[in-house]
Amino acid sequence: MGHQIALCASLSGYKVKCTDTNPDILAKAISFADNYLKERVIKGKLSEEAANQAYENIAFTSNIEDAAADADLVIEAIIEKLDIKRTLFADLDRICPAHTILTTNSSYIVSSRIADATNRPDKVCNMHFFNPALVMKLVEVVKSPHVSDETVEVLMNASRKMNKTPVLLHKEIYGFLVNRFLQATRQEALKLLDMGVASFEDIDIAVKNGLGYPMGPFQLIDLTGIDLAYHVGMEKYQESGDPADRPSPTIVEKYTKGEWGKKQVKDFIITIPKQILTKK
C-alpha cells in the first residue's frame, strides 16, 4: 500500500519521499507511479499539469536516512510483524527530528505496542488507510492513551488534505472499526470453507447477492493479501495464546505455498515535509 499512499500525498500537493530496502520493490513503485499518472491523463481523470506536479512532488530512495532525516510526518507500511515494526520505529526515532510524527498504517497492531520503542510516544499513532489507497476514502486515526491531541489534529487534517475521510477512534481496540466488521464475516467464511460446507466461489456469491456486499470475503482476502491474513492471525495468537485465534488451515496452506493473492508485498515509508502539511 505504501506506493499508493505516497501517490495520494503527492497528488494533494505534499512533498513525499518513498523508501524501501528492497530495490526490486522500489523499482516497481517508481514504475507504478509513472504508469498510473500517465493513465490518469490519458483517461481524462487528471490534467497533464497536475500529473507533472505530482511526479515532481515524489522522490524515491533506498536510503532511510535520506528519506526521514528532515521529515515532519512518517507513514510506515511494512509487514505486520511487531518486532520488525519496533526495530524500524527505534531507527526512525534516532533519524528523525524531535518534532516528527511517526505513524503506522497497521490494520491491527496498536501504536501502544510500538510507542515505547521511541522517545516520543505522544507522536506515535495509528493512521490506517484502506487498500487500494488511491481509491478508498477512509482513514482510521486511533487516539491511544499516549497520543497527544496535537498529533491527532495534525493527522486528521493531513488525511483531509489527501482527499480522505478520516474517522477518530477515542480508544485502542483490536482491529479498529472496519476490520472488526470484516473479521467477523471472514472468520465465518473460512470456517464454512474449512468444514467443506461450500466452495469459496459460492460463499462469495452468497455474500454478494444475499448481503449486498460489493465483493465476497475471499475476493477481499485475495486483494489485501493472504500473507497479511496469516501474519495478523499469528500475531494475535502469539499475544493471546488462544488456539481459536490461529489462522485458518486454508490460510496457513496458502501462505506456506506462497499463494498470497493479487497483492504483492510492498514495504514503504512516506515522509511529508511540514511546510506542505501546514499549507492553507
Q: Which residues are catalytic?
A: 107, 128, 140, 179
Virtual torsion, Cα 211, 142, 85, 220, nearest 10 deg: 10
Contact 51, 34 (CB under 8 A): no
Q: Are strands 269-271 and 16-19 parallel, antiparallel or unpaired?
A: antiparallel
- Helix-then-strand count for the chain, H and E: 12, 8
49's CB contacts (< 8 A; 6+ apart) are none
Contact 110, 144 (CB under 8 A): yes
Question: What residue spans of 173-248 are helical by DSSP H?
Answer: 178-194, 200-211, 217-224, 226-240
CA distance 95 to 66: 9
Place of cell 477518530: 168
Virtual torsion, Cα 221, 105, 68, 23, nearest 10 deg: 0
Cell numbers found for residue 201:
466461489
Contact 104, 114 (CB under 8 A): yes
